[in-house]
Amino acid sequence: MKSSANIALLACGGTIDKDYNVLNGELEFTQTYLTELLKQARHQLDLRFETLMLKDSLDMTQNDRQQVLEACLNAPEQQIVITHGTDTLTQTAEFLADQIGAQKTIVLTGAMRPFRLAESDASFNLGAALMAVQTTRPGVYIVMNGRLFEAHQVQKNRQLGVFEAR
Ligand code: GLU
């Protein structure tokens, strides 16, 4: 009998997991919605889901990134997808790449609009990340906008609101 899942999905927060608060007009965290996203997708993956934190990535500290690193190292799975705010997605990817290298396949993704809001890119991005993690050689990557980038070779273009090679 198999003792662990094939893929770990680790939630860190970011816009992908925020919701609109009708009382104060803010985008904020209440719970993770990734389980709902996965249910809608009717996925057939052998997946373990864990919420590490629900933070805006601008508020993430080095301790938070250390926690993400340890979660990756301690995960029994070789394939790991991390959801994360897009503002410091490249920073965390670079940290993980520097610490873990090619020990595992790690794909970070996020969304520019929350899963809970219309016209969200959340399902598209998470679906692409889950596919990429199963088909890409070990290393640390970012999947956004339908593209796969190696850590250290990607930047967020804040004018266009997309990720691009650098
Ligand atoms: N500042 C937020 C974050 O990085 C919003 C950016 C996003 O997730 O798209 O978590």
Packing angle between helix 34-41 and helix 122-135, nearest 10 degrees? 80
- pLDDT band for position 8 (50/70/90)? very high
Distance 164 CA to ligand 1 centre (A): 17
- How far apart CA 15 and CA 56 sit, in angstroms, is 7
The confidence score (pLDDT) of residue 5 equals 82
Distance 121 CA to ligand 1 centre (A): 13
In this structure, are residues 29 and 85 in contact, taking their beta carbons and an 8 Å threshold?
no
Distance 14 CA to ligand 1 centre (A): 5
Residues with CB under 6 A from ligand 1: 14-15, 56-58, 85-88, 110, 112
Judge whether 77 lies within some domain: yes
Judge whether 34 lies within some domain: yes
Range of the structural domain that residue 155 is part of = 7-165
Instruction: Record the tokens describing residue 110, joined without a space.
Output: 């996020």
pLDDT (average), residues 111-134:
98
Judge whether 17 lies within some domain: yes
Q: Are strands 27-28 and 19-20 parallel, antiparallel or unpaired?
A: antiparallel
- pLDDT band for position 2 (50/70/90)? low
Q: Are strands 105-109 and 139-144 parallel, antiparallel or unpaired?
A: parallel
- pLDDT band for position 3 (50/70/90)? low
CATH of residue 121's domain is: 3.40.50.1170
